[in-house]
Structure 1
Amino acid sequence: MQILHIYLSPEHNFFGHHGQPAGTAPMIEVPEVECVAGKGLVGDRFFGWKEDYKGQITFFEHEQYERLCEKFSVIDVPPSAFRRNIITKGIDLNTLIGVEFEVQGIRFLGTQESTPCYWMNQAFAEGAEDALKGHGGLRAKILSNGILRKS
């Protein structure tokens, strides 16, 4: 698995905002991030959020980003719009649901699809929520400590 982008955000824009306007916290691209087992990514909004949280880290396929850009003729929205932490290339993330896997010496457990929500229509393009069903990315638990870097 190649890592193209690593994103963190100190605050939630959509999570907990149902029925309210979206937040404005940016996704900040970093060259590396510290993964803490059972806690999440240092500096991210979900770090230590709750015990045994299934989404301590999220992954998203660059190939899906490219597919959506083509489908909706989008040329000016970056992959950070999906608010996933790690943008990957070269792997079908759905194959990692329910599977322990390793990236750069760090162990993860794929827990479930990172289900797209209606905010995707606002953040990326109208229709993005439906187009992402089954391809919304991967939520995972962090099983070992380490530093994850763009590769």
Structure 2
Amino acid sequence: MDPDRDPGPDPGQPTPTVVAIHVAKGRRLPTRSVPSVEAQAGAGLVGDRYHGSRHRHVTIQSLPELEAAAADLGRPVDPGLTRRNLTISGGPIPTKPGERLRIGDVELEVVRIAAPCRLLDDNLGPGAARALHARAGTVFRLLSSGTISVGDEVDLSPGH
């Protein structure tokens, strides 16, 4: 077996799902939690600050990474305060440019790893940016349109 090849999802693990969706109308404005959001191919999430940007359409983080950051910080990390759009229940989020995942009918492609936001220490307290370094999620572009809702399954398998 090739050690560089991703074997795909562990059949013993539950399928990851979307557990939170957050959008913000402006760059420095607080995010708000929504039950669903319209994803527009080539444009982003309707109602979010990055809608209409060239490549930064959606940011995705995982709950286990937030829990690890919370353990380092010694306090909870509210997914909405990280300024990421989608929080999923688990699984390895793709990080290599060009890799893909699917949420419901919406296909997304990796642009880059997300850097911790400069507002983290203000929003979550001192040390938050450091605790979320390498845990800040991934930036994606939208390849197809559709509705993304809390509870939607996330297909992390290679080939998407």
TM-score bracket for the superposition, by shorter chain length: 0.7 to 0.9
Q: Which amino acid aligns with 2:35?
A: P
- Contact 2:38/2:145 (8 A) holds in 1: yes
State the identity %: 26
**Aligned residue for 2:19?**
4
Q: 1:96 to 1:33 in 2, by over 3 A?
A: farther
- Contact 1:113/1:135 (8 A) holds in 2: no
**Aligned residue for 1:22?**
none
Separation (CA, whole Å) in 2 of partners of 1:138 and 1:132: 12
**Aligned residue for 1:63?**
64
Instruction: Give deviations 1:10-33, integer Å, cap 9, x for gaps.
Output: 0111xxxxxxxxxxx221111110
Q: Within 5 Å, give how 1:10-21 maps onto structure 2.
A: 10-13=25-28
1:38 shift after superposition: 0.4
Q: Which amino acid aligns with 1:101?
A: L
Q: Within 5 Å, give how 1:30-109 maps onto structure 2.
A: 30-49=34-53, 52-53=54-55, 55-75=56-76, 78-95=78-95, 97-109=97-109
**Aligned residue for 2:140?**
140
Q: Which amino acid aligns with 2:43?
A: K
Q: CA RMSD in A?
A: 1.6
1:95 shift after superposition: 4.7
Counting matched residue pairs gives: 136
Q: What residue ranges of structure 1 are gaps of 5+ in the alignment?
A: 14-24
**TM-score, normalization by structure 2:** 0.78
**TM-score, normalization by structure 1:** 0.82
Instruction: Give deviations 1:60-85, integer Å, cap 9, x for gaps.
Output: 1111211122221214x521111000
Q: What residue ranges of structure 2 are gaps of 5+ in the alignment?
A: 1-15, 152-160
Q: Which amino acid aligns with 1:137?
A: G
Partner SS, residue 134 of structure 2: coil
**Aligned residue for 2:113?**
113
Of 34-43 and 93-102, deviating more is 93-102
**Aligned residue for 2:130?**
130
> 1 or 2, which has the higher helix percentage?
1
- Contact 2:59/2:139 (8 A) holds in 1: yes
